[in-house]
Structure 1
Amino acid sequence: MTNFSEGNAQLAEILSSDTLSNEQMGEIHMLTYTIENALQKIDAEVDAMAVALEEVHLGSETLDQERVSTHGADYLDTAQTLVE
């Protein structure tokens, strides 16, 4: 999330210029790699969260407290990284 947030902030700062120099274009090029990698990581984490949350849902239907507790903790740990 840090790479995503910082990369977006840097991109916004560069894009706030009236014109973009060749050097700034190079910086943007490098930033896009960082942001794209961060997005891929976020996507993978969201996929894992969806699986864990579904386990919580299914566990709650069958009153499986262990399943809910275990997968609920996994879900919340991952979710917390997205809101920080």
Structure 2
Amino acid sequence: MKKIVLTSTLMALATASVASDDKHFKGKMPTTYEQAQEYLVESKAKLAAILADGNVSRVEMGEIHQLTYSLENALEFMEEEIEQIQETLERVHKGSERGTNAQVFQDAQQFLNNSDVLH
């Protein structure tokens, strides 16, 4: 009887594990750079709080795992935004070498506007 209960329990856990893979945690997905910064700060604070006592329980390990998704999403979004800003600056740089005034002016204005989020 104990073997049946144990086997049933293990099967239930295995099924739950497989089911949880279908609904894997996605983390917070930012839609703006400011939101990505907010999620980064928020998630870092939660991670620091978990680590504060020097011990990490199994439950906390799960919380850390979930936090990493929001952290990764925030950093990835920020990286993509910074790459776009760098590309615009590169257009300004190359345009300034060629002396294409109108294009440099337009790209420089775009750079200034888009890079405001970085401070």
TM range (shorter): 0.7 to 0.9
Identical residues among aligned pairs (%): 36
> Runs of 5+ in structure 1 lacking a partner?
none
How high is the TM-score relative to the length of structure 1?
0.81
Q: CA RMSD in A?
A: 1.6
- Give 1:2's aligned residue: 38
> Runs of 5+ in structure 2 lacking a partner?
1-36
Query: Which of these two proteins has the greater Rg computed from alpha carbons?
Result: 2
Q: Is 1:52 equivalent to 2:75 in the alignment? A: no
Deviation of the 1:82 alpha carbon: 2.4
Number of residue pairs matched? 83
- Give 2:98's aligned residue: 62
Secondary structure, in 3 states, of the residue corresponding to 1:32? Answer: helix
Secondary structure, in 3 states, of the residue corresponding to 1:50? Answer: helix
Q: Which structure would you say has the larger RCO, counting Cα contacts within 8 Å and 6 or more residues apart? A: 1
How high is the TM-score relative to the length of structure 2?
0.61
- Name the aligned partner's letter for residue 64 of structure 2: I
